[in-house]
Amino acid sequence: MSQDKQFYSTFFTIMGGLAVLAIILVMIASNLTSEVTEYMPDDVVIENIKPVGQVNVAGESTPQPAPAETAGMASAATEPKSGEQVYNSNCVACHASGAAGAPKLGDAAAWAPRIAKGVDALMVSVTNGLNAMPPKGLCMACSDAELRATVDYIVSKSR
């Protein structure tokens, strides 16, 4: 009988300790989640989970975006980058170090024969690529005006 009393005593002590631990953990969890009381509105959730593209099948009609969506797309378009911004994001890797034979920015001797051909010739080289330089210097999102501004920036720094 004493062994049974010892077993029950130990068993209930452990179960009591686990119950107290469970209560403490529930209280901690409720305190942590009580700070998160604001939920996102449905329209924000729908905007966050909408597909980024669509599949168009030949012969099937494609739903046109609502006017509000097209207005948002127009406002999402960024302003043109300056020549310095395009240079710093796309051209600096080769034209700062001279990688693959690229003339360095500011090296007047290397740029003189190129500048002598004129800006239009430089634009042809930029647009089509030349030697190791890929077309548009891999700035496929750059407009012709942005590329022209970049050429003007490089020429101004390399005279």
CATH number for the domain spanning 98: value is 1.10.760.10
In-domain check, residue 104 = yes
Token pair, residue 74, equals 């127009």
In-domain check, residue 144 = yes
pLDDT of 65 strictly over 70: no
In-domain check, residue 139 = yes
In-domain check, residue 64 = no
What 8-state DSSP symbol labels residue 3? H
Alpha-carbon distance of 37 to 96, in angstroms, equals: 52
- Does residue 83 contact residue 153 with C-beta atoms inside 8 Å? yes
pLDDT of 75 strictly over 50: no
pLDDT of 76 strictly over 70: no
In-domain check, residue 126 = yes
In-domain check, residue 150 = yes
pLDDT at position 36, please?
55
Full residue range of the structural domain in which residue 132 is found? 83-157
Q: Is the dihedral of CA 74, 146, 143, 103 positive or negative?
A: negative
Count how many domains the chain has. Answer: 1
In-domain check, residue 62 = no
> What average pLDDT score do residues 32-48 get?
73
- Averaged pLDDT of the chain: 84
- What pLDDT, in 10s, does the model give residues 101-153? 899 989 999 999 999 999 999 999 999 988 888 899 888 889 999 999 999 99
Kindly report which listed range (13-22, 60-69, 144-153) carries the lowest average pLDDT score: 60-69
Alpha-carbon distance of 91 to 154, in angstroms, equals: 10
Which residues have a Cβ under 8 Å from the Cβ of 7 and sit 6 or more positions away?
A: none
